Homo-oligomer: A and B are copies of this chain.
Amino acid sequence: MARWQPDARGRLERAAFELFVEQGFAATTVPQIAERAGLSTRTFFRHFADKRDALFAEEHAVPEQAARIIAEAPASLGPMQIVADGFDAVAAAQFSREKSYYIARHQIIQSDDGLRERQLRMPAALVDSLRRGFEERGTDPVDAMLAAHLTATVFSVSIGRWLSSPNSEPLAALLRDTFDRMRRTASS
């Protein structure tokens, strides 16, 4: 038998999410989270840089998948062609929990300034990952940065549309539609 209960990080994540739902983000303290997870406060800070981080444990998944897709794309394709072809794969692989979870999480984030700010790191990390991927294919740095920003915009706007209603269209359809509208807007 292991000395400690397994999955300390996961227990902390779940305890934090539960407490944020029950009491709100600002009203829950790190010692409370640690206690519910059966761990010490110090251990919480070994797994997360701060209280907000417990809500962003999966933030690396999208940038990592994006980097893989770009690295594996045929050399003949330009950045925006790769992106257009990748939407379905990302939509299928990410956001695999129940939609109500993402909506609840979104509500927590919107309730707190610090969390809203923290969330801005997600599109920023996606831009970074995309830009690096495009640059490694030889794309001009400015063009790579622009393509990265345009792609992150499509994701941000699509996810916003997806979360705006429990009955919205599937994310993959929203990504394609937002991409088309982005192109039309850019050339208007």
Interface majority SS (helix, strand, loop, mixed), chain A: helix
A124: Cβ under 8 A from any B Cβ: yes
Contact residues in B for A60 (Cβ distance below 8 Å): none
CB proximity of A32 to chain B, nearest CB, Å = 23
Q: Which of A22-30, A92-100, A147-155 lines the interface with chain B?
A: A147-155
In the complex, whether A68 has a CB less than 8 A from a CB of chain B is no
A187 touches B186 (CB 8 A): yes
**A49-92 toward B: CB 8 Å interface, digit per residue (1/0)?**
00000000000000000000000000000111100000000000
Q: For the complex, give the distance between the alpha carbons of A93 and B46 in Å.
A: 46
Q: List 10 A-B contacts (CB under 8 A).
A: A79-B185, A80-B185, A81-B188, A117-B118, A120-B124, A146-B181, A147-B185, A149-B156, A153-B153, A183-B186
Interface string of A112-129 (1 = CB under 8 A from B): 000001101100100000
Interface magnitude class on chain A: 20 to 34
Contacts of A136 in B (CB 8 A): none
Beta-carbon nearest neighbor of A161 in chain B: B142
Closest to A164 in B: B141
Q: List CB contacts (< 8 Å) of A101-145 with chain B.
A: 117-118, 120-121, 124, 142-143, 145
Give the docked Cα–Cα distance between A121 and B115 (Å): 12
Asked if residues A186 and B186 are in contact (CB atoms below 8 Å), the reply is yes
> Which residues does chain B contribute within 8 Å of A149, judged by CB atoms?
153, 156-157
A10 at the interface (CB under 8 A from B): no
